[in-house]
A and B are shown apart, each in its own frame.
Chain A
Amino acid sequence: MATSSTTSKQISIKVEFGGGLELLFDNQRSHRVPVPSYVSTTGKKSLKDDADVAEGKGRPVDVAYLILWLRDNLLKERAELFVENETVRPGILVLVNDTDWELEGEGEYQLKGGDEIVFISTLHGG
């Protein structure tokens, strides 16, 4: 875990969408996204200040941040179907390296380079 290392500014995360969620992301299931290693600790509402976070300062990047990053950078339409109250909308399942995120601290899970995060909607058709 990169809590004390400050050598790299960005880490690369593999993101996958399923269950119809990919439709909001240009109909592409698999993405590789770069996120900063450290992000602002001051609230989650805006990602604008993140560029100012010095290496080693702020909090290590987590899934909560990734969700907002995806909304602001990758999502193409209907953000309300992905994010609600600063987290994924109820009914969207999240897996961290093939494990239910409910076992991994949900939004507080700290991302490592190469992690694979899967989002699956349960809200589409039976």
Chain B
Amino acid sequence: MPPRLCSLCNDARAILKRPKTGQQICKECFFWVFETEVHSTITEAQLFKPGDRVAIGASGGKDSTVLAHVMKTLNDRYQYGLELFLLSIDEGITGYRDDSLETVKRNQQQYGMPLKILSYDELYGWTMDAIVSQIGKKNNCTFCGVFRRQALDRGAASLHVDHIVTGHNADDIAETVLMNIMRGDIARLGRCTLICTQGEDTIRRSKPFKYAYEKEIVMYAYFKKLDYFSTECIYSPDAYRGHARAFLKDLEAARPSVIIDIIHSGETFEVKEEVKATQKAQQTCKRCGYMSSNELCKACTLLEGLERGMATAAITERARKKLDAEGPALESIRTIPFFQQSPEAHSTDAPKPPT
């Protein structure tokens, strides 16, 4: 069989069939189109302006490793003028996160970017190991997810960055669309396809890989020989997402465009006004000051449940009522440290006292 030529340059041998377009392309054209598409995503959404300080949420996994590489490449090639940082969250999972953090430390050297590691232990007084030993493997992903999201925001504030970018790819977003539909979570369904959302304070949060297929991210890492970590979390994987993922991969095998199609569907849903009206307005957590749709933010609620030995309080309505019936939280309940975002206001990373 004669080698198939690249359908873009018509010169080199094709090494990849693009899932998005079905085109067969060579290695150099692949690198070029992959990077250029991410660049277009960034420029069309006007994600950055020169001088922005941008933290890359780095787990040591494939997506964030490729993101760090591509952000550095594009920042140099197109002179974005960004100051890039790596921000890692240490959930405190022995044998999993401690190993993947070694990968991030190597990335720090390879890409010459400053690295900040913030731990659950430091923020919440609990590692995931400790949480799982108290609550077991069921529901622990809820804690980890809520805690990680807040930890990234708080870590970003301590770095005084304007923007967090994460490695969420097109497959992840399509999965999330499906999960939100299946759960009837209309508020999240509306938000989950946005390329950029406003996080805590004025820190923005973006997904430059919104349109990048997982297959291409993994192929990019493979052909660039990027150093990434790929062990499954030792605690129960998010079973619900696992189902959505397996379903999506089956669909993709039959019709590769399904991933972009689902994202498109998610983007074009219109939520009726009467449904919108039932959604809660954003406020500030009365304990830690983080943005919240309730009096207490989700992390403080989870933490209170942990501290009072009723870990399911934030997960089920019934358990919450039981917790409330036992009376108010003790004065001594831990307050999650709040980092001031603006460097002018505070010259150190000292936590802001609770209000």
Contacts A90-B253, A103-B16 known; A125 to B232 CB distance under 8 Å?
yes
Q: How far is the CA of A19 from the CA of B65 in the complex (A)?
A: 13
Asked if residues A93 and B232 are in contact (CB atoms below 8 Å), the reply is: no
Q: How far is the CA of A118 from the CA of B15 in the complex (A)?
A: 13
Within 8 A of A (CB), among B59-73: 59, 61-64
Asked if residues B15 and A99 are in contact (CB atoms below 8 Å), the reply is: yes
Within 8 A of B (CB), among A108-122: 118, 120-122
Asked if residues A103 and B219 are in contact (CB atoms below 8 Å), the reply is: no
Of the candidates A93, A99, A122, the one having the most CB atoms from chain B within 10 angstroms of its own CB is A122
Asked if residues B231 and A124 are in contact (CB atoms below 8 Å), the reply is: yes
Chain A contacts for B169, CB-based, 8 A: 126
A21: nearest chain-B partner, CB-CB: B230
| Partner-contacting stretch, out of B130-138, B151-159, B244-252 | B244-252
B162 at interface (Cβ–Cβ under 8 A)?
Answer: no
Asked if residues B253 and A126 are in contact (CB atoms below 8 Å), the reply is: no
Within 8 A of B (CB), among A47-86: none
Chain B contacts for A36, CB-based, 8 A: none
Q: How many residues of B contact A (CB 8 A)?
A: 36
Asked if residues A90 and B17 are in contact (CB atoms below 8 Å), the reply is: no
Minimum C-beta distance from A27 to chain B (A):
10
Minimum C-beta distance from B35 to chain A (A):
19
Chain A residues touching B, range: 20 to 34
Contacts A121-B230, A124-B232 known; A95 to B222 CB distance under 8 Å?
yes
Chain A contacts for B223, CB-based, 8 A: 98
Asked if residues B218 and A120 are in contact (CB atoms below 8 Å), the reply is: yes
Chain B contacts for A90, CB-based, 8 A: 246, 249-250, 252-253
Asked if residues B218 and A125 are in contact (CB atoms below 8 Å), the reply is: no
Q: How far is the CA of A122 from the CA of B214 in the complex (A)?
A: 7
Asked if residues B59 and A125 are in contact (CB atoms below 8 Å), the reply is: yes
Chain A contacts for B219, CB-based, 8 A: 93, 100
B243 at interface (Cβ–Cβ under 8 A)?
Answer: no
A107 at interface (Cβ–Cβ under 8 A)?
Answer: no
Chain A contacts for B15, CB-based, 8 A: 98-100, 103
Asked if residues A18 and B222 are in contact (CB atoms below 8 Å), the reply is: yes
B24 at interface (Cβ–Cβ under 8 A)?
Answer: yes
Count of inter-chain pairs, beta carbons less than 8 A: 76
B52-82 to A contact mask, C-beta < 8 Å, 1/0: 0000000101111000000000000000000
Q: How far is the CA of A103 from the CA of B3 in the complex (A)?
A: 10
Asked if residues B222 and A103 are in contact (CB atoms below 8 Å), the reply is: no
Interchain CB contact (< 8 A) of A19 among B13, B62, B167, B246: B62
Chain B contacts for A126, CB-based, 8 A: 59, 61-64, 167-169, 172
B4 at interface (Cβ–Cβ under 8 A)?
Answer: yes
Minimum C-beta distance from B60 to chain A (A):
9
Within 8 A of A (CB), among B226-280: 229-233, 245-246, 249-250, 252-253
Chain B contacts for A95, CB-based, 8 A: 222
Q: How far is the CA of A89 from the CA of B100 in the complex (A)?
A: 25
Interchain CB contact (< 8 A) of B61 among A99, A103, A118, A125: A125
B14 at interface (Cβ–Cβ under 8 A)?
Answer: yes
B residues within 8 Å of A by Cβ? 4, 13-17, 24, 59, 61-64, 100, 167-169, 171-172, 214-215, 217-219, 222-223, 229-233, 245-246, 249-250, 252-253
- 16 chain-A/chain-B pairs, Cβ below 8 angstroms: A18-B230, A19-B230, A20-B231, A93-B218, A102-B17, A103-B4, A118-B222, A122-B215, A122-B217, A123-B245, A124-B61, A124-B232, A125-B62, A125-B229, A126-B63, A126-B169
Extra pairs beyond A98-B15, A120-B218 (16, CB < 8 Å): A18-B230, A19-B218, A19-B230, A91-B249, A93-B215, A93-B219, A103-B14, A118-B222, A120-B222, A122-B171, A122-B217, A123-B245, A124-B232, A125-B233, A126-B63, A126-B168
A-B CB proximity, top 8 nearest: A90-B249, A20-B230, A102-B17, A126-B63, A91-B249, A124-B230, A125-B61, A90-B253
